[in-house]
Amino acid sequence: MADPVPPPSDLPAPYASPWGQLGNAARAVLASLRLKLRELWRRNGEGDLSVPGFWPQGLAPLFWPLVLAALLALALALAGQVWRSLPHRAVPTTGEAAVSLPPAPAPQGAPTITAPALEAPPPVAVQEPPPEPEPEPPPPLELDPLLALLAQDDPDHLITSAHPVPAEARLVLTMAPSYTGLSEANRRRWAERWQQRALALGYERLELVDGRQRLLARAALVGSGMILLDPGAPG
């Protein structure tokens, strides 16, 4: 009579790779996340997810996608800022790469040739341009001394020039046009005043002429005083 066959036993358990179990678990987690995301997408489309009170109810499906997009843009901006703040080492291109090799040792016994040191050229003295000479002040205005003396008795500036003739003891005064516009009494008064000044200066004869050298007044030949004449009239 044959011996009975023993029932199968779980021991020893068959070997199961932990990496395989980790892969199965990861696939299960991804499948669960996919289902959860589909559920959230469906609930968001139906407006079932909670939104702030200020958000319009008709635009409820757009709230959470906009929030996710804003968060993604903020994360990208922060990442770019961090990347720019990191020190970057410039990588030389093929044409710019320079490999400095140490100089080959000179063979023993060979004379060492050293290049003469290059002397720096002496500094060139920069000559400053000579300072420009200061402009000479204009010469002082010279006033005829005789005219200056007569100006004391000419507050209205009726005399334009004075021409003395010392050999004849005669003084000729050229009058301004405003003198002929005065009344006869005023012209006589001024003429006699200038006559007194001319006598005090040593001139015995005084003549008044206009700009065209026409005689306007002269000293009287007999007696004292001035004789007034019309322009162009014979003296």
Residue 88 has a CB neighbour count (10 Å cut-off) of: 7
Kindly state whether residue 117 falls inside one of the protein's structural domains: no
* pLDDT tens series, the chain, 235 aa: 556 666 665 656 677 788 888 988 999 999 999 998 888 888 887 777 777 888 887 787 788 888 889 999 999 999 998 988 888 665 555 544 445 555 556 556 555 555 556 666 666 666 777 777 776 654 443 446 777 777 777 888 889 988 998 898 899 999 999 998 899 999 999 999 988 988 888 888 889 999 899 999 988 887 778 888 876 555 4
pLDDT of residue 139: 47
Indicate the residue among 31, 50, 81 that finishes a domain: 81
Contact of 205 with 170, CB cutoff 8 Å = yes
Note whether 76 and 151 are same-domain residues. no
**Residue-range definition of the domain harbouring residue 174:** 145-228
Query: Is the pTM here over 0.85, yes or no?
Result: no
pLDDT of residue 26: 92
Split into its structural domains, the chain has a count of 2
Kindly state whether residue 22 falls inside one of the protein's structural domains: yes
Cα separation, 177 vs 186, whole angstroms = 14
Tell which phi-psi region holds residue 139, choosing left (phi > 0), alpha (psi between -120 and 50) or beta: beta
Indicate the residue among 43, 62, 81 that finishes a domain: 81
